[in-house]
Structure 1
Amino acid sequence: DRDVVPVLIDGLKRVEYRGYDSAGIAVFDGAQLRRVRRTGRVAEMEAAAQSESFSAQIGIGHTRWATHGGVTEANAHPHISFGELAVVHNGIIENHDEQRERLRAAGYAFESQTDTEVIAHLIHSYLKQGHDLLAAVQAAVRELVGAYAIAVVSLNEPGRLIAARMGCPLLVGLGEGENFVASDVSAIVQATRRVIFLEEGDTAEVTRAAVRVFDIDGAQIEREVHLSDVSLASLELGPYRHFMQKEIHEQPRAIADTIEAVIDNNGFSASLFGAKADEVFAGVEGVQILACGTSYYAGLTARYWIEAIAGLPCQVEIASEYRYRAAVANPKQLIVTISQSGETLDTMEA
C-alpha cells in the first residue's frame, strides 16, 4: 500500500555494481500504464520520474546491458505491448527473429531492436486469445528458446505481477502486505530478507497478499523460504571508488567465507559434489573448463592450480566457441562450467 517508485529506484541503485547502459520503470498510476526510461545512470531516470510525479502501488524496473540493439531510449526496458502490458527481462532469446516475423504477420509493430519486445507482444497475443495473465505468460515462455528472467504486469490485472525464469536467476521476496521479485537479493534486502529462489522453468504469481509458484509443467508447487544473510553494509560502496575495486579487495574474504562453510577436518569431502562424486572422480583423466568473458580468465588461473595440485591435465575454452564448433569430447574428462552474467546461456549450451 506504499508508493513503489522509491522502492524500485532504490532496488535498481543496489544492482548498479553489474554495469549497465540504461534504466527504466513502468507503473500503474490510476487507470494508466506510465513508463520512464533513460540511457545512462539510474539517477537520470530517477530525476525524470520525480519530475513527472510518478507514484503507484505496483511496478517493474530494470537496468539493461545491451545484447540486442544500441544504447537508445527505445531499446531500454521496460518494453510495452499495446499500452497495456509491460515486461522487463534479463537474458537472451535465441529465436527472437522467427518470433518477430510471426508477430509482425499478426499485426504487431516493433519499436525497438531488442529480443525483449518479442516477449511483450507474444504474451499480449495470448491475452487476446482469452488467457489471463498467468496463463498467457506460461504459454508464451513455452515458445521461447534461450535464457530469461522476466517480470510482467498488465493494466487489465493491476494487482498482479507474473514472473518466470529459465537459465537466469530470479527470486521472490516475501514482505508484510507486500511482495517482490528480483534478480538479486541485494535489490530487495532493504524491504525483506525472506526469499524464495525460483527454479528452472518456474513461474510465480505475485500479489500483495500472496505468492503462488508453478513448476515447468504448470503444477502449483511449494518452494522453500530462505532467510537471506546479506547485509545492507555489504552492498554499500564504502571507501571504494567503484564496485569493481570493491569486488577486487573483497576477494580474499569472499573466498575464505566460501571455503569455511564447506571445509571439514582441513579437507573437502567428494560428497559436496553429489552422491556419486567419489566414483566419478576416480575415473577422471582430465578437466575441461568452459566459460565466457571474465569467467574464462578465472578458468585460466584455475588451470594452473588444477594441474599443479590435482596433477590432472586441464584445458580451458571459451564456451561460445565450444558450443558452435565440432568439438570431440572425452567421456573421461570432468567438465567444469563457470557462469558469467549475460553469458550463462552459451556456457549451458556448451
Structure 2
Amino acid sequence: MCGIVGAIADRDVVPVLIEGLKRLEYRGYDSAGIAVLDGAAGSSDVRRVRRTGRVAEMEAAAQAEDFHALLGIGHTRWATHGGVTEANAHPHISHGVALVHNGIIENHEEQRERLRALGYQFESQTDTEVIAHLIHHYLQQGNDLLGALQHVVKELTGAYALAVVSRSEPDRLVAARMGCPLLVGLGEGENFIASDVSAILQATRRVIFLEEGDTAEVTRSGVRVFGEDNVEVAREVHVSDVSLASLELGPYRHFMQKEIHEQPRAIADTIEAVMDNGAFSASLFGKDADTVLADVDGVQILACGTSYYAGMVARYWIEAIAGLPCSVEIASEYRYRAAVANPRHLVVTLSQSGETLDTMEALKYAKSLGHDKTLSICNVPESAIPRASRLVYYTRAGAEIGVASTKAFTTQLVALFTLTATLAKLRGKLSEQQEGEYLDALRQLPGSVQHALNLEPQITLWSERFTPKQHALFLGRGVHYPIALEGALKLKEITYIHAEAYPAGELKHGPLALVDEAMPVVVIAPNDSLLEKVKSNMQEVRARGGELFVFTDEDSQFGESEGVHVIRAPRHVGVLSPVMHTIPVQLLAYHVALARGTDVDKPRNLAKSVTVE
C-alpha cells in the first residue's frame, strides 16, 4: 500500500525514480508523483510533477517538462486521508521541503491546528502535509534537515515511512521509519531508498533494512543510520536474492496468470528443505525450535485476508493430525480485544509481505501478553514480522506482483501442513508410516497442482457464463470451506462480482433465500468423507433453480446434468486436497476478470502490501 523510492547520484535519477515506481505498482495506488532537486544550495528549487491514475501518465508529464536531476524522491499513493486528487498526491512541499510518506498519522488534526496558528496554510486534505510543514518549522529553528526530521518524528503518533529532501541541502536526503517498511540501497557513488527492494534492483542488490524508530541520512558517498535515541547505529547489509526476471511478465498476459502457473515451482521450492531433510523436524523452523515447540499445548494463528483463510485450513489439520486446540483470528480484531493469553500456546503469524501492519501489531500485542513462542510464516526474508518472531518458515514463493494473492496462499498452506506434521511428530502422534505418507504426498503435490492447471481450458468456458452475473455463492464443507471463502474473495477482488462463501450445511439456514436462476453457485466437492453431505446441499440448490458449478475429483461418483456443470481434478490427493482445489477457483476468477475487462493485476481500491489500519 503506497510506495516510496528515492535516489541521490552523479547521474540523472529521474529514470531510476520512474522505473522504481513502476516496480512498486503492484502494491496498489491511485496517484503518483516525483520531486527532484539539482544544483547548488539555493540555486534551484524543488520541481514536482504529480498525476492521478497510472505512473505512465506521470512519466509522460515529467518528460514533457524535461525533468532531470541528481536527487529526487517518488511516491505511489493509495488514498486514505483525502480523495484521489492531484492536490492530495505526493510529494508534498512546504517552502522548499519535499516529502513522501507511507502510513497514517493519527494526531494530524492536532498538528494541523498548531501549524495554522504558526501561519502555515494547507493545500491538501492529507495527514502528510502536516509533516512537511513541521520539518520546515524545525528548519527555521536552526536545525539541519536530519535534525528537523528527528524532532518531528518524536511528535508524530501513528505509522510512517518518510523520505525528505530540501532545497537548502541539495546533497542529501533523509528518511525515517515507524511501522511501515523502508530500506536503503547501497551503490557505488550513489545510494537509494525504497519501500521494497524490487524498486531499486535495477541499481543495486545491497540493502539495509531500517528498523522501528530509525532515521537515516543518505548521501552519494554513504549512509548513516540512527536509532530511536538519535545515536548512530550499525545495521547489517543484506544482499537481495530477488530476481529481476521474477518481476517481468514474460509470456503471460498478467502477473496473476503468471503467478498462478508458477505454483508448482513455488511449492517445490517451499518444501525443498523438508524433502532434503527426509523427515519433519523442528529444525526446519529455526535453531531453537526444539525448545520453543517442545511443550506447545495449543496454537493461535493471526492473519488477515487470504492468509486468514490459510490459517482456517490449518486449524482443521492441526486439530485432526496434531491433536492440539487451534484458534484462528483476524489480526486487526485480535489486537483490539482483551485476549486471554496462554504462554504455552504457539502464536503463528502469516503474512506474504512480512510488513502487514495489523498482523505486526497483533504479534506485538501477543508478546505483550506474555506469548514467547512465536513463529512467522512469510515470503519476504528479513521483513519486520519474521525479525520480531523467534521462529520463521519462509515460503519461497518468489516475488508476487498481482494484488490478488495466489502462490503466496498455496505456499502458506504447505508451510502450515509442514508445521502440523512437525507438531504431531513432536507429540508422538505421527507414526513412521504416516510420516512417510505425508512426505510422499508433499513430494507429489507440485505435479498434482500442474494437473489442476491443465484444467484451464475448461474453466475458461465456464467464465463466459459468469461474465454477466452480479452475484455468486461458493460452498464447501470441512477443510474445503476456507477454499470456498478464498474462491469468493478472488472473484470479488478482481471481477467486482459480489461473492459470498458458506459452509454448505449452512445453506438452508439463510443463504438459500438468495438462490435463483441468476445466482451461480460454485461448489468445492472433493471425494472425501463429506461428499455425500455436499451432494445433498447441491440438491437444495437445484430445487430452487440455481445453477451449479462443481469442482470435484476424477473418482467422485456423479456427473453433469441440466444446471450442473462439473470439472474434475485428475485425482483426490488426500489430506492436501485444499491446495489442489485452490487452483480452479483462482483460474475461474482470473478468466472471469479477463472476460469482464477489469484490471486484473491492479484491482480498484486495493493494495498489495497493507501497511495502514
TM-score by length of 1: 0.90
Q: Which range moves more in the overlay, 52-61 or 236-245?
A: 236-245
CA distance in 1, matches of 2:87, 2:129: 10
Select the residue among 211, 214, 218 that pairs with 1:199.
211
Q: Deviations over 1:97-119 (max 9, x none)?
A: 33223323332222222222222
Paired with 1:307 and 1:58, the residues of 2 have a C-alpha distance of: 55
Q: What CA distance in whole angstroms lies between the structure 1 residues aligned with 2:154 and 2:46? A: 26
**Matching residue within 44, 47, 51 for 2:64:** 51
Residue of structure 2 in register with 1:114 after alignment: 126
Confirm or deny that 1:32 pairs with 2:36: no
8 Å Cα contact 2:190-2:220 kept in structure 1? yes
Q: Is 1:180 matched up with 2:192?
A: yes
8 A Cα contact 2:91 2:99, kept in partner = yes
Q: Distance in 1 between matches of 2:274 and 2:179?
A: 26
Verify: 1:241 aligned to 2:253, yes or no: yes
Q: For 1:134, what is the secondary structure of its paired residue?
A: helix
TM-score under structure 2 normalisation? Answer: 0.53
Tell me the distance in 1 between the aligned counterparts of 2:104 and 2:267.
Answer: 30
Pick from 20, 24, 30 the counterpart of residue 11 of structure 1: 20
Report the equivalent of 1:21.
30
Query: Mean Cα displacement is larger for which, 195-204 or 323-332?
Result: 323-332
Amino acid of the structure 2 residue aligned with 1:121: H
Partners in 1 of 2:261 and 2:360 — Cα distance? Answer: 29
- When structure 1 is superposed on structure 2, of 103-112 and 15-24 the one drifting more is 103-112
Q: Is the 8 A contact 2:30 2:54 kept in 1?
A: yes
Q: Percent identity?
A: 83
Report if the CA contact (8 A) 2:335-2:361 is conserved: yes
Give CA deviations for 1:25-76 in whole Å, capped at 9, x if unaligned: 0001440111111111100000011111111110000111222222111221
Separation (CA, whole Å) in 1 of partners of 2:318 and 2:178: 31
**Per-residue Cα deviation, 1:302-330 (whole angstroms, up to 9, x for no partner):** 33343344332222222222223333334
CA shift, 1:154, in A, is 0.9
Within the candidate set 315, 340, 357, 1:345 is matched to 357
Distance, in Å, in 1 between the alignment partners of 2:354 and 2:243 is 25
2:88 is the alignment partner of 1:75: yes
What are the equivalent positions in structure 2 for 1:155-304 lying under 5 Å apart?
Answer: 155-260=167-272, 265-267=277-279, 269-270=281-282, 277-304=289-316
- The structural deviation recorded for 1:297 is 2.8
Q: CA offsets, 1:124-183, max 9 Å, x none?
A: 222121111111112211222222221111111011011111222221111121110111
Q: Which amino acid aligns with 2:16?
A: V
Which consecutive unaligned segments of at least 5 residues does structure 1 have?
A: none
**Number of equivalenced pairs:** 349
Q: Which residue of 2 aligns with 1:131?
A: 143
Unaligned runs of 5+ in 2: 1-9, 363-613
Cα distance in structure 1, aligned partners of 2:354 and 2:211: 18
What is the letter of the counterpart of residue 149 of structure 1? A
* Cα 1:294–1:276 shift into 2, 3 Å: same
Greater shift in the superposed pair: 37-46 or 128-137: 128-137
Q: Does 1:312 align with 2:324?
A: yes
1:143 aligns with 2:152: no
- Whether the 8 Å contact between 1:292 and 1:343 is mirrored in structure 2 is no
What CA distance in whole angstroms lies between the structure 2 residues aligned with 1:322 and 1:67? 23
Distance in 1 between residues matched to 2:164 and 2:193, nearest whole Å: 10
RCO greater where, 1 or 2, for CA within 8 Å and sep 6 or more? 2
Counterpart-to-counterpart distance in 2, 1:137 and 1:268: 49
